[in-house]
Amino acid sequence: MADLTVRADLGALANIADFLAETLAGCGEDLVFAVQLAVDEACSNTILYGYGGREAGTITIACTADDDAVYVTITDDGVAFDPLTAPPPLLDVPAEERPIGGLGIHFIRTAMDSVTYAREGGKNVLSMEKRRPASP
Amino acid sequence: MSGHVEITGRRAGTVDIIAVKGRLDAGSSEKAEERINQVLDAGGRSLLVNLCDLDYISSSGLRVLLAALKRLKKDGGTLRIACAQPQILEVFTMAGFHRIFSLFPDEAAALAGFTAGP
């Protein structure tokens, strides 16, 4: 299990993406991209909304892979927020009616095969799993 | 820091072309938004966004493109996207944006379709 702890700052998003690319090297570009997208959206939400006025805390991303799947756990000390309670966005409406925003959590759900949320010891813990494609 | 993104602009006839390279995430999308708004504020109504060298886009990046599209549609303008790579297209598809944006395989194809000015 590899892990990375960063200050909750938007500048850290590229470092998080690099960490995932290194940790998941050999897992295939599409899978790495999907995991990067889900983790990026979750961390962006935490950074933008998790600390509302108080000093930014830290986010820890732990990642591992076995033959079957990639497993990522994101832990942050922001305000309690369960992203899985967000309503799904409307995807079939014309541009003029599309709301600006609300897509990040949809991407997390779509890119990953399973996502669970827990509040543990004053921290948000988001656990995600992405199955690896079967070998050809 | 503004993120690992590089934004360049140029004109081809009446079309404003903005190329976005690198990562368009929550840390860098504001920079792209400012650049696009500069073009629209200056009266640009034909905007081509070139994503040939874009490696990554998140919902923050899509939000900037949607805001530009909404503004242009309201003002009778046109927005076209050129050359999004397969992983970028997949994010567009996940969002349903492949149905509301005009996507072209390359810049030449996107330019060819803009209505010629008077």
Domains defined for chain A, CATH in brackets: 2-131 (3.30.565.10)
pLDDT of residue B117: 42
Q: How many CB pairs under 8 A join A and B?
A: 84
Cα B1 to Cα A9: distance, rounded to the nearest angstrom: 10
CA distance B73 to B76: 5
Q: Which domain holds residue B58?
A: 5-111
Of the candidates B23, B59, B74, the beta carbon closest to that of A104 is on: B59
Q: Of all residues in chain B, what percent carry a pLDDT higher than 90?
A: 91
Q: Residue B2: pLDDT above 60?
A: no
Top pLDDT among A120 and A102 is at: A120
| pLDDT value for B118 | 35
Which ipTM score applies to this complex? Answer: 0.92
pLDDT (average), residues A71-80: 97
Alpha carbon of B12: minimum distance to chain A alpha carbons (Å): 26
pLDDT tens digits, A5-64? 999 999 999 999 999 999 999 999 999 999 999 999 999 999 999 998 889 899 999 999
DSSP letter assigned to residue A133:
P
Confidence (pLDDT) at A71: 98
B52 pLDDT tier (thresholds 50, 70, 90)? very high
Long-range pairs for A109-112: beta carbons < 8 A, 24 or more residues apart: A109/A84, A110/B94, A111/A34, A111/A35, A111/A37, A111/A38, A111/B94, A112/A34, A112/A35, A112/A38
Asked if B96 lies within 8 A of A111 by C-beta distance, the reply is no
What is the model's pLDDT at position A135? Answer: 64
Question: Could you tell me if residue B72 is inside a domain?
Answer: yes
Residue B117 within any structural domain of the chain: no
Is residue B118 a part of any domain in this protein? no
| Average pLDDT of chain A to the nearest whole number | 93
A101, B95: Cβ pair inside 8 Å? no
Q: How far, in whole angstroms, is CA A97 from its chain's centroid?
A: 27
Range B68-74 average pLDDT: 95
CATH number of the domain where residue B87 is located: 3.30.750.24
- How far apart (Å, rounded) are the C-alpha atoms in residues A42 and A6? 14
Q: Residue B92 pLDDT more than 60?
A: yes
Q: Is residue B116 part of a domain?
A: no
Chain B nearest-CA residue for A10: B27
Number of domains in chain B: 1
CB B51 within 8 A of CB B81: yes
